[in-house]
Amino acid sequence: MKKIEALIRKAQYEDVKNKLHEVGVTFFSYWDVTGIGNEKFGRVYRGVSYSTSAIDRRMLSIVVNEDFVEPAVQAIIEAGGTGNIGDGKIFILPVEEAYRIRTGEKGGDTLN
Amino acid sequence: MEALFTVNNVWMMICTALVFFMHLGFSFLEAGLTRQKNTVNILFKNFFVITAGLLLYALAGFNLMYPGFEEGAIGFFKFAGWGIAPPEGGMTAAYADGGYTWWTDFLFQGMFAATAATIVSGAVAERIKLEAFMLFAVLYVGLVYPIVGSWQWGGGFLSSWGFYDFAGSTLVHSVGGWAALVVIYFLGARIGKFSADGKSNPIFGHNIPIAAAGVLILWLGWFGFNGGSVLSADPEATSLVLVTTSLAAAAGGVVASIFSHILYKNYDITMFMNGVLGGLVAITAGADQMSTGEAMIVGSIGGIVVVLAIALLEKLKLDDPVGAIAVHLFAGMWGTLAVGIFGAMAGFDQFMIQLAGVGIVGAFCVLSTLILVLLVKALVGLRVSKEEEINGLDDAEHGMAAYADFSVSKK
């Protein structure tokens, strides 16, 4: 089992979600994050110019069995990419165990 | 005649209510353009200003502002006594040429009085100690505002000179603006407003819709502020004043939004809003003297003055979160001078009298604010601690939150 953590553009979220569904990844968690990166925007508020380095992105947390890792990653890359700086990152982490709370069973089957 | 008196008085009471409504406009504008953590504090100050301001006006202010200077008096200071009581004939058409009753007179002027301190409230927001503000507001609204007002509207020396300030570009708006300027000089900028290297940083207002509602409410209130300053329901004068007031507001807003886009390449709604207010403040001194075209010019320049003044204050490292000084002081001075440049009274002599009035009122307000600020500083201190400021005045001064259980999505 692996956990895929993906930071993607909010604008690409719907595409990524649909693509993940297509490859059989039907459940995951997500939340909005703010980070620091290379992207900077020039802005003006009441005549005061400033540049923001705070970047809004969406974080996806997906736990899958081994054979889903590569399709899921490819789905995110395909649907999440625009070709511009700031498209995001994907991290793969090992997961030691998974439990289904309702039945108490454990192992890879709980992810189906 | 009796019917006309009644109609006049009804109009003046409507105007009184409209000026009262402006206090909601100010509250909304100030709350919207400052941070969420200081909202309760802003509202508390605004409530204090309108309530205490009215009580003080009943206690002494009205009789300081309209003391009835004797023939030949210098017309600088007179106090007609404590409290309010209608004079003989105060409820008849014999009082004020049948324009209104004495009660209406008191309440209309009382609604104006608190405005001067409300202007200060916005400029000093987010870091002044509540008690310092309340003490200052009491002294300023109780003493300085009515004394300055007596020089012109009370029949004092400015009015004998021929100074003209129809509804208070100088007597109300600049009086508040000067105090705001001096207080923020002593108070210092909010933490984070200017970096150590001198760079200016933006501190965002937390509720733009509320600020926008505030500006539109203020515009509505101005129908009473200027419309009521006709002091009767005279059909031609009141309708002209409403037209010039609205045209100046519209021109001020449009010009400020375009001008700030030229300067900053950004359509800034807060500049649009400040521009509308700049147009309103600018036309206030001569709303009954201008043609429609002149009203638009005066308002347009008011809008430009506001945008430039906001930039100037940033340069001088003076932190005015809501643009109160740019709007009320700078556009107020412009509007007062404009009476000598545009409209029925324009002329070099009039311009010089307007200039003298602006200067004298400015000097008196700066000097008296200086004394009051030092007094307040010595008695209670001016500014909250760093920790209180960062945690927010709502927490530090009131122990409550404006939106306790409420959050909004970022995007």
Average pLDDT of span B14-27: 97
Strands in B135-229 per DSSP E: none
Asked if the Cβ–Cβ distance from A47 to B265 is below 8 Å, we say no
**B106-109: long-range contacts (C-beta < 8 A, 24 or more apart)?**
B106/B57, B106/B58, B106/B62, B107/B13, B107/B16, B108/B12, B108/B15, B108/B16, B108/B19, B108/B228, B109/B57, B109/B62, B109/B65, B109/B66
Nearest to B113 by CA among B156, B69, B49: B49
Each residue's pLDDT tens digit, B353-378: 999 999 999 999 999 999 999 999 99
Asked if the model's pLDDT at residue A39 lies above 80, the reply is no
Asked if the model's pLDDT at residue B293 lies above 60, the reply is yes
Each residue's pLDDT tens digit, B100-115: 999 999 999 999 998 8
Which CATH number characterizes residue B50's domain? 1.10.3430.10
Each residue's pLDDT tens digit, A45-91: 998 888 877 888 999 999 999 999 999 999 999 999 999 888 999 99
Asked, for residue B354, whether it belongs to a domain, the answer is yes
Average pLDDT of span B16-24: 97
Asked if A44 reaches chain B (Cβ–Cβ under 8 Å), the answer is: yes
Q: Which of A44, A49, A56 minimises the CB distance to B410?
A: A56
Shortest alpha-carbon distance between residue A16 and chain B (Å)? 18
Asked if the Cβ–Cβ distance from A45 to B270 is below 8 Å, we say yes
Compare all CA atoms of chain B with the CA of A57 and give the residue at the minimum distance.
B411
Asked, for residue B404, whether it belongs to a domain, the answer is no
Shortest alpha-carbon distance between residue B147 and chain A (Å)? 35
The residue among B33, B200, B257, B318 with the most chain A CBs within 10 A of its CB, best to mutate, is B200
Asked if the model's pLDDT at residue B92 lies above 70, the reply is yes
Say if residue B73 is exposed, middle or buried (CB neighbours under 10 Å; 0-12, 13-18, 19+).
middle
Each residue's pLDDT tens digit, B116-175: 889 999 999 999 999 999 999 999 999 999 999 999 999 999 999 999 999 999 999 999
Asked, for residue B144, whether it belongs to a domain, the answer is yes
Q: Which of A32, A50, A56 minimises the CB distance to B202?
A: A50
| pLDDT for res B411 | 54
| pLDDT for res B405 | 83
Mean pLDDT of chain A: 92
Residue B348's CB is within 10 A of a number of other CB atoms, namely 9
Compare all CA atoms of chain B with the CA of A56 and give the residue at the minimum distance.
B411
Q: What percent of chain B has pLDDT over 90?
A: 93
Q: Taking a C-beta distance cutoff of 8 angstroms, is the pair B171, B153 a contact?
A: yes
Shortest alpha-carbon distance between residue A9 and chain B (Å)? 12
Average pLDDT of span B192-210: 93
Indicate the range of A42-51, B83-92, B396-405 predicted with least confidence: A42-51
Asked if the model's pLDDT at residue B74 lies above 80, the reply is yes
In total, how many domains does chain B have? 1
Nearest to B123 by CA among B210, B42, B202, B199: B42
Q: Which of B202, B410, B411 minimises the CB distance to A48?
A: B202
Question: A-chain residues within 8 Å CB-CB of B322?
Answer: none
d(CA B23, CA B31): 12
The domains of chain A are located at: 2-111
| pLDDT for res B48 | 97
Average pLDDT of span B319-346: 97
d(CA B169, CA B343): 16
Mean pLDDT of chain B: 96
d(CA B109, CA B65): 9
Asked if the model's pLDDT at residue B185 lies above 80, the reply is yes
Shortest alpha-carbon distance between residue A50 and chain B (Å)? 7
Q: What percent of chain B has pLDDT over 70?
A: 99
Asked if the Cβ–Cβ distance from B271 to A45 is below 8 Å, we say no
Query: Which residues are registered as beta bridge partners of B194?
Result: B200
Question: B-chain residues within 8 Å CB-CB of A46?
Answer: 202, 268, 270-271, 310, 323
d(CA A79, CA A21): 12
Average pLDDT of span B338-343: 97
Q: Taking a C-beta distance cutoff of 8 angstroms, is the pair B224, B18 a contact?
A: yes
Asked if the Cβ–Cβ distance from B264 to A56 is below 8 Å, we say no
Asked if A49 reaches chain B (Cβ–Cβ under 8 Å), the answer is: yes
Higher per-residue pLDDT: A39 or B73: B73
Nearest to B326 by CA among B284, B271, B379: B271
Asked, for residue B216, whether it belongs to a domain, the answer is yes
Asked if the model's pLDDT at residue A40 lies above 90, the reply is no
**B8-12: long-range contacts (C-beta < 8 A, 24 or more apart)?**
B8/B98, B8/B99, B8/B100, B8/B232, B8/B233, B9/B99, B9/B100, B9/B101, B9/B104, B10/B233, B11/B227, B11/B228, B11/B232, B11/B233, B11/B238, B12/B99, B12/B100, B12/B104, B12/B108, B12/B228, B12/B231, B12/B232, B12/B233
Asked if A31 reaches chain B (Cβ–Cβ under 8 Å), the answer is: no
Each residue's pLDDT tens digit, A92-103: 999 999 999 999
User: pLDDT category, B220, cuts 50, 70, 90?
Assistant: very high
Higher per-residue pLDDT: B72 or B49: B49
- Alpha-carbon distance values, A108 to A98, B73, B311 (Å): 7, 98, 63
Residue B394: which domain range? 2-398
Compare all CA atoms of chain A with the CA of B263 and give the residue at the minimum distance.
A47
Asked if the model's pLDDT at residue B6 lies above 70, the reply is yes
CATH number of A2-111: 3.30.70.120
Asked, for residue B408, whether it belongs to a domain, the answer is no
Q: Taking a C-beta distance cutoff of 8 angstroms, is the pair B313, B260 a contact?
A: no
Asked if the Cβ–Cβ distance from B323 to A32 is below 8 Å, we say no
